[in-house]
Structure 1
Amino acid sequence: MQLNRYAKIVSPTSHKEFDRRHGAVQAKMKEKGIEGILLYGSYIRQCGAIRYFVDFPTGGTNGLYAIMPDEGGLALFGHGHVNSTTIPKELAYRVDINFGYPYAGIAGFTLPHIFDEVVKYVKKRNMKRIGLYRTGMLPYDFVRTIADNIPGVELVQVDDMLDEIMAVKSEEELEICRYVCKVHDQIYAALPVLVRPGKREKDLTNEIQKIATDLDCEGLNIMIGAGNPMAHHQHYFFQNKVIQENDYIDLLVEVSVAGGYYGELSRMWSLSEPDEEMIELNKHSMEVQDILAAAARPGVPAAKLMEILHDYQKEHGYKLEDRFFGHSQGLDLTQRPLYAYDENMLLQENMFISIHPAMENSHMWAFNTDNYIITKEGAVRVNQTPRGIFRV
């Protein structure tokens, strides 16, 4: 994969890839009789709803509204100058409507300027059956505008339809995903010279973020937790502990490369000789990671992997996982399928997934994270970072 760091727009995604995505989604829309799909993005770690279709990161101050029609290019509505566009024209590939207006999400009185254009567009296209994608993220006023102003409109949920398309990566996407893993490996390779006692967890995070941005990463989520015996990664806001000489560290790197694709990588660290209990927990975390990867074959229900993990944790006397321990990845940090009992998706070949099982008892935790690509024989680990406890 060639990435020109000095281009005006640094992104690995080709127009051919965007053509494929638009074509796949619009073919499914026609099959289902859906004339348009409402899309929204406002958070860089979960911006795939729009970035899947146009190479623009929707993580700014104000959200970006979009409608995918069953034919033609995308319609975008968002912040911009009067009589201008909402995204730069050079990025507006396969975009038919690029409407900008100086609106602010915190100022409701500005929203009619956006939504009046939305209604004009939907009426002009005579859309009567409209899909709602990621209803947990679609703004209420966006949906209400359609419901109140389009007579006879039918609103339908399309999460499963789009998520299944997004989850299976093309050959170009798989190449990008391998690059994502390479960048995570490069970041992790620099950490042994940075992890030292006497720093706050937050100081270490700041140094890691500098390395990531030097590698042109866009989205940054560095989660660190230090302690002894318990070390559990946590968000930046809480990273105020000073790392001690005998601490363990749970160090999770989650970043997106230029172009917006995410991955994640973590290991346990020990600033002194780890005791036998930590060695045992970490060994079990890696062992079940391998078991789960082998089970992640095409056609297997994603929910089955949670059952496998819980069986292992019960057998070894650990706390049962009460979140999801892995998921698909791409232009969102977390994509479906999730490894959760209520997930209805099946695993498929060429999904790019993370597997991060934790082993936890009453006072200690071990956690390992790697990225995988699902093949006919199971999930293959892509990261090259050595496994095991990192010792400083």
Structure 2
Amino acid sequence: MPEWNLAGPRYKYPVSSAELERRLSAVQAAMRDKGLDCCIAQTQSTIFDSITRYLTDSAANPYSTTLLIPAQGGLVLINHGVEMDPAPIPPTLRNVEKLIRKPYCQPFGCTDGMIGAVLSREIRSRGFRRIGVILRQLMSADTLEGVREGVPGCELVDFTAEFSRIKAVKSPEEWALIDRCLRAHEQLMAMVPALLRPGRMEYEVLADLEHASRYLCCDWLGNVAVGSAPGGGGVPFHQNPAANRRIERGDGVTVMIEVSGPGGIYGELARTFCLGEPAPALLELYETARDVQHAVAAAARPGVTGRELNEVFDDFVTARGIAKNGRFAGHGQGYDMMEAPVICPQEEMALEEGMFLAIHPELMRDGQFSICCDNFRVAAGGAERLTRTEQRIFALEF
């Protein structure tokens, strides 16, 4: 990977400075086209880190990381830490011209407004008035209120759609990171048969997969989940607090692996295993899940919206006695575990070549649950499956 000497031994898979400059230039050009003076953004989660990681190649702080993105020039980054205003900028933190550290923390009401006050001061000092907001659901109320009150006469403009379109189409460097992510998911899923045996707890299998993901240099665990059911049946997967059932001979086991690979880009892979023979109803439901995934992928061509793909999904499953999509049948992926475009009734964003998708129909019928989850790249003729793991229910002999 590029620039090992820049990041040193503390950083595994940095992207090049040229790639970071490409991203920032594309975002700033779109901002200027919309007549914005700057944008503001905030990240409080490593599973939704597309803004900070995308523009700086540095992971967000769980205490929250806030960015001021001028329409021209370098970024201002506000992070949790010992009070330093400004703070020294480490060499690994690129695209940033000013770093500010403040001792705030979400559960401490006495620090409410601290980020908003600093952000407002920086905006006022630059004379900015027309301010874009990126992914406002990720921004705290006290930060947005602080900007509204601290920058009199400012205009807040939603810039989410424009930003999402830019980052959804992956560059060659991003596709190299995606390839590492896909291979890690495949290796983890290939371990599952060796981890399953009668008497093990669901959380033990889950813990083994989390542990192995670290050894494969995956950045963040995201969502690793396991569920089991008696009689070779299908069951939804559970995260660690609820993964508390003992697996026995004859059970069906659903495994979901949704981690960010080396370099921070997320992928997603789910399969079902049976400690014996799977129930016929589960086999039939899995075939339907696989077939609807293929139908959606074939329709996922440039220019098609997430809403239109949702219609393909609904038409396919309702004809087979299965309920319509009640959540998301698939979505984009990147530094966000789930990013636009999404396959749901509300999504009007159109697909473009070079987008990275997970298509993961989750179907329920007659008490059975099945999922077929794989990773895809949008191409001119539809989405191409990138995951190499076989698409079947794996029957294990015990």
Q: Could you say which TM-score interval applies, normalised by the shorter chain?
A: over 0.9
1:48 and 2:43 aligned: no
Does the CA contact (< 8 Å) of 1:48 and 1:331 recur in 2?
yes
Q: Residue 99 of structure 1 corresponds to which residue in structure 2?
A: 100
Q: Residue 275 of structure 1 corresponds to which residue in structure 2?
A: 279
For 2:283 and 2:65, how far apart are their aligned partners in 1? 47
Q: State the secondary structure of the residue aligned to 1:136.
A: helix
Residues 280, 6 of structure 1: CA spacing in aligned structure 2 closer, same or farther, 3 A cutoff? farther
Q: Aligned-pair distance for 1:203?
A: 0.7
1:194 and 2:198 aligned: no
Return 126-135 or 328-337, whichever deviates more.
Answer: 126-135
Superposed, which structure 2 residues align to 1:348-367 within 5 Å? 348-367=352-371
For 1:298 and 1:87, how far apart are their aligned partners in 2? 44
The amino acid of 1:348's aligned partner reads E
For 1:56 and 1:85, how far apart are their aligned partners in 2? 18
Q: Residue 29 of structure 1 corresponds to which residue in structure 2?
A: 31
The amino acid of 1:8's aligned partner reads R
Does the CA contact (< 8 Å) of 2:117 and 2:150 recur in 1?
no
The amino acid of 1:367's aligned partner reads I
The amino acid of 2:307's aligned partner reads A
Q: Residue 213 of structure 2 corresponds to which residue in structure 1?
A: 212
Q: State the secondary structure of the residue aligned to 1:90.
A: coil
For 1:13 and 1:91, how far apart are their aligned partners in 2? 11
Match of 2:22 among 20, 23, 33: 20
Superposed, which structure 2 residues align to 1:212-231 within 5 Å? 212-220=213-221, 221-228=223-230, 229-231=233-235
Note the residue ranges of structure 2 that are not aligned, 5 or more in a row.
Answer: none
For 1:94 and 1:387, how far apart are their aligned partners in 2? 42
Q: Residue 287 of structure 1 corresponds to which residue in structure 2?
A: 291
The amino acid of 2:309's aligned partner reads L
Note the residue ranges of structure 1 that are not aligned, 5 or more in a row.
Answer: none
For 1:56 and 1:49, how far apart are their aligned partners in 2? 10
Q: Residue 300 of structure 2 corresponds to which residue in structure 1?
A: 296
Q: State the secondary structure of the residue aligned to 2:21.
A: helix
Superposed, which structure 2 residues align to 1:1-392 within 5 Å? 7-60=9-62, 62-83=63-84, 89-111=90-112, 113-220=114-221, 221-228=223-230, 229-392=233-396
Does the CA contact (< 8 Å) of 1:79 and 1:86 recur in 2?
no
Q: Aligned-pair distance for 1:350?
A: 0.3
Q: State the secondary structure of the residue aligned to 1:89.
A: coil
For 1:206 and 1:85, how far apart are their aligned partners in 2? 41
Q: State the secondary structure of the residue aligned to 1:48.
A: coil
For 2:263 and 2:86, how far apart are their aligned partners in 1? 21
| Count of aligned pairs | 391
For 2:321 and 2:114, how far apart are their aligned partners in 1? 58
The amino acid of 1:104's aligned partner reads C
Residues 367, 57 of structure 1: CA spacing in aligned structure 2 closer, same or farther, 3 A cutoff? same
For 2:135 and 2:10, how far apart are their aligned partners in 1? 32
Q: Deviations over 1:308-347 (max 9, x none)?
A: 1111111111232211110000000000011001111011
Does the CA contact (< 8 Å) of 1:133 and 1:158 recur in 2?
yes
Q: State the secondary structure of the residue aligned to 2:358.
A: strand
The CA RMSD measured in Å over matched residues stands at 1.8
Q: State the secondary structure of the residue aligned to 2:51.
A: helix
For 1:206 and 1:244, how far apart are their aligned partners in 2? 18
For 1:367 and 1:3, how far apart are their aligned partners in 2? 39
Does the CA contact (< 8 Å) of 1:56 and 1:87 recur in 2?
no
The amino acid of 1:197's aligned partner reads P
For 2:294 and 2:185, how far apart are their aligned partners in 1? 20
For 1:261 and 1:313, how far apart are their aligned partners in 2? 31
Q: Aligned-pair distance for 1:108?
A: 3.2
Residues 154, 179 of structure 1: CA spacing in aligned structure 2 closer, same or farther, 3 A cutoff? same
For 1:143 and 1:214, how far apart are their aligned partners in 2? 40
Residues 3, 340 of structure 1: CA spacing in aligned structure 2 closer, same or farther, 3 A cutoff? farther
Q: Aligned-pair distance for 1:105?
A: 2.2
Does the CA contact (< 8 Å) of 1:80 and 1:86 recur in 2?
no
Q: Aligned-pair distance for 1:85?
A: 6.5
For 1:71 and 1:252, how far apart are their aligned partners in 2? 42
Q: Deviations over 1:120-162 (max 9, x none)?
A: 2111211000011111121111111111121211011111111
State the identity as a percent: 30
For 1:301 and 1:82, how far apart are their aligned partners in 2? 46
For 2:279 and 2:111, how far apart are their aligned partners in 1? 60
Q: Deviations over 1:194-222 (max 9, x none)?
A: 12221111111000001001111122111
Q: Aligned-pair distance for 1:301?
A: 1.3
Q: Aligned-pair distance for 1:88?
A: 6.0
Does the CA contact (< 8 Å) of 1:92 and 1:98 recur in 2?
no
Does the CA contact (< 8 Å) of 1:12 and 1:258 recur in 2?
no
For 2:110 and 2:236, how far apart are their aligned partners in 1? 44
The amino acid of 2:394's aligned partner reads F
